[in-house]
Amino acid sequence: MDLQIDGNVALTTASSSGLGFASAQALVREGVNVVINGRDEDRLADAAADLRAEAAGDATVHPVQGDLTDPDDIQRLVDETLEEFGRLDHLVTSAGGPPSGPFLETDDEDWENAYELLVMSVVRLTRAAADPLQEGDGGTIVNITSRSVKEAIDGLVLSNSVRMSVIGLEKTLSQELAPDVRANAVLPGPHETSRIEDLVNAAVERGEYDSYEEGLQEWANNPLDRIGDPIELGNTVAFLSSPKSGFITGQSVVIDGGAGNANL
């Protein structure tokens, strides 16, 4: 399917690895010019090289190093996108997850850090990107959050609580920025990212599993009996960024292999 976004410009955050990278990968395969972001300059350069090898047509990849908890870095990220390409059509927000743990083991600093990373990064990015997104022929925002906003996950009180704010923001933006900009969210369950790979390999080294495949299967607690491939989420992000999804806005799409039990 041609998503009809060839030549567009997308800004994807936390995209040197994981689901942010997969989103950039899906977009660049569609011929989209992609700005990627990460804190580690070497990892970011490697990601840019990998994406350039997959770029369709004349699509280019522009890496911008920066910390999503730094307001100045966020503004520079948007400014460099506009300087490089002269436009911005799609914003894809992603960020690393906050520390796990139960409520009584968290303090004020944990909550403040989680809010800065997960919520204020999206607030500041959207504020900086709103004007250029509205100037195009159909801007889009896709927020990558977590299935924890649909059903609370044991031991993830920060993610369960704080990520809900992003959904409230996304729904509000879908109304306030309409009809020029559509805003949606994706709520992933476990996908085989480098983080999951590291966790499984560490468990194998501790003797908890006999093999990587056995350890990975423990994450596949869903009707499809497998863990997600990151590009599957990336393809959904690309679809939501395209005219093919033109009548979808203000929605939260769960991508978890059917693991959740919520009716809606």
Q: In 10 A of CB 155, how many CB atoms?
A: 13
| Mean pLDDT of the 131-149 span | 94
- In the sheet with 181-188, reading across from the earlier edge strand, the strands are 61-65, 33-38, 9-12, 90-93, 139-144, 181-188, 252-255
Give 62-108 pLDDT, tens digit per residue.
999 999 999 999 999 999 999 999 999 999 999 988 888 899 999 99
DSSP annotation string for 105-150: G--HHHHHHHHIIIIIHHHHHHHHHHHHHHHSSSEEEEEE--GGGT
Is there a contact between 264 and 200 (Cβ–Cβ < 8 Å)? no
Sorted by sequence, the CB contacts under 8 Å of residue 228 that are 6+ apart come out as 188, 189, 190, 191, 192, 255, 256, 257
Mean pLDDT of the chain: 95
pLDDT (0 to 100) of residue 242: 98
Does residue 246 surpass a pLDDT of 90?
A: yes
Distance CA 183, CA 252 (A): 9
pLDDT (0 to 100) of residue 1: 81
Give 5-46 pLDDT, tens digit per residue.
999 999 999 999 999 999 999 999 999 999 999 999 999 999
Backbone angles phi, psi at 154, to 5 degrees: -55, 135
pTM exceeds 0.85, yes or no: yes
| Mean pLDDT of the 246-263 span | 94
Give 213-223 pLDDT, tens digit per residue.
999 999 999 99
Domains and CATH numbers, the chain: 9-190+229-255 (3.40.50.720), 192-227 (no CATH)
Does residue 132 surpass a pLDDT of 90?
A: yes
| Mean pLDDT of the 42-58 span | 97
Give 171-208 pLDDT, tens digit per residue.
999 999 999 999 999 999 999 998 889 889 988 899 99
Query: Poorest-confidence range of 16-30, 145-159, 162-176?
Result: 145-159
pLDDT (0 to 100) of residue 164: 96
Indicate the Cα dihedral angle 97, 98, 104, 107, nearest 10°: -170
Q: In 10 A of CB 213, how many CB atoms?
A: 10
Distance CA 22, CA 27 (A): 9
> Pick from 127, 91, 247, 125: which is nearest to 179 by CA?
247
pLDDT (0 to 100) of residue 196: 87
Is there a contact between 180 and 137 (Cβ–Cβ < 8 Å)? no
Distance CA 249, CA 181 (A): 9
> Pick from 9, 11, 24: which is nearest to 230 by CA?
24
Does residue 137 surpass a pLDDT of 90?
A: no
- Helix %, strand %, coil % for the chain, to 5? 50, 15, 35
Distance CA 260, CA 11 (A): 30
pLDDT (0 to 100) of residue 26: 98
